[in-house]
Structure 1
Amino acid sequence: MDIGELESKKIAELRDMAREMDIPGFSTMKKQGLVYEILRANAEAQGYDFRGGVLEIVDDDKQTMGFLRAKNYLPGPDDIYVSNSQIRRLGLRTGDWVMGQVRAPKDNEKYFSLLRVESVNGMSPDLAKKRPRYETLTPIFPDQKLKLETQPNILSTRLLDLVAPIGRGQRGLIVSPPKAGKTTVLKEIANGISANYPDVHLMVVLIGERPEEVTDMDRSIDGEVISSTFDEPVRQHCKVAEMALDRAKRLVEAGRDVVILLDSITRLARGYNLTVSPSGRTLSGGLDPTAL
């Protein structure tokens, strides 16, 4: 069975299959959750794990290979190896959320290995091969407004709707002095989007923030939080931001609406200023033009 076959079934048929497989709590699951739990149970019945992660394609001098990253899209001991043949055959790209059957590492191996791809960004692998590339999509001016207002006592989002409305496909920048409440405004924007538009994939990228602020944001919003805190290398700040952007591009290619909230672009610019090769020119504040 594959994800395309399961998604073509009615939810009653999926619940019957889940009942036969003794999947706990199947009666309260939505269709997408049932599909993944059935795939997981099927993989475990064959002696494999069913896992997933965000793909990062790594090129070295010898070969091209991929790894499914987990926490904050960064390398870790639980990464899953993806072979070059799978990447080429299925047309996988950096930022894809890939799920499938996984086997444990052998004696001379370091990572888990992906045996069979079951889904790519929630689609069947065959359907994912036909998706367009982000670079070929046509950019247009925003023509659909995102309503941020939720509760009468939250005034910031009501004022944004009146004074500086946000549309789908729009870029925005919050400029303010330190300790003025930028993070609070971002949090209220995130809650407004998740409450009014549950179909929008919300990503909050925190660069150079304190770990306790990351925890607070994760507990306060209903969305994906990706972070690289101030105590981590600046090169990691840049990599996390680039992986988050690649993840958003893959979702857009799949037809999803994505909102990225970045805090803060100042620290990201400082990170690029320290990692790029010097151009020999310097702007005010010691900023290299290539960092921008």
Structure 2
Amino acid sequence: MTRSTQLRTPTTAPSATTATSGTTAQPAAAPTKPVVTAAGILDVVNERQESGFLRAEGCRASAHDVRVPAALIRAAGLRTGDFVVGVCDRPRMLARVETINGHRLGAVRGRPHFRDLTPLHRPAKEHVALAGLAVERAKRLVEQGQDVVILLDSLTRLCRAHNNAATSGGRTLSGGVDAAAVHGPKRLFGAARLAEEGGSLTLLATALVETGSRADDYFFEELKSTGNMELRLDRVLAGKRVYPAVHAVASGTRREELLLSPAELAATRRLRRALQTGDGPANMQSLLEKVRRTPDNATLLRQLQHTAPGV
């Protein structure tokens, strides 16, 4: 009697890694971290640039601010106030800068500092010197018989420059005005004239009024007597978008009798009296409409004599 023996081929346990014929098994890829971007206005906490923060909510500090390491501030050339967009490697910690104020890093390297930029305004002494040189140049042209016109904007600011450039120790008036501050502007503005030998110098200057500054009021009152024509603007008309917004009653020319005929002078003075009655802005709007419909001043005055009350 024979014994039958059954043989089994040994098997191995299934592996977690599968592979097709002719390939090498590869481990599964590890999950990638999501890219976290941050953006905000940089606030460097001290002058030594030891660290800073991207303010996430405007300019105020908040719990969502992102810290910026000192090394990154120096490497990227960051400055307080820069709007920075970057990438974080840890929660609320900036690791890389992408853009600065909307530009790539290369575009902002070498940018000038604000303190090194040439200002639109110049020191007070330079304003004074420039105005004086311009007037002296105009005088030389008048001496050669030429007619010169200088436009000065503004006479008030020139007075401020003289006041700021004045040496200390002088008498100080109300509003912080040096007593000698208007001497230079008076000489400058008073240089205007018509020379009998030929040539003339005319200065047209703007002046600030009703600014709330006692100094500005003082400058205007001191200098308006030097001029011979004043054109006053009206805030009420300008607010109503009525142009030209001229305050006709406050405007005028000194010694206008030298420019107008007796009939024109009488009509002009009656017109001024009429404009002072009733609603001033409404009267001015009515006058402007009549000005637009007439070809010249003479025609306007003739019409007003028949239509305007008191004219």
**One fold, TM greater than 0.5?**
no
Structure with more helix by fraction: 1
* TM-score after normalising by structure 2: 0.28
Flag the structure with more relative contact order, 1 or 2, with Cα contacts below 8 A and sequence separation at least 6.
Answer: 1
Task: Give the structure-1-normalised TM-score.
Answer: 0.29
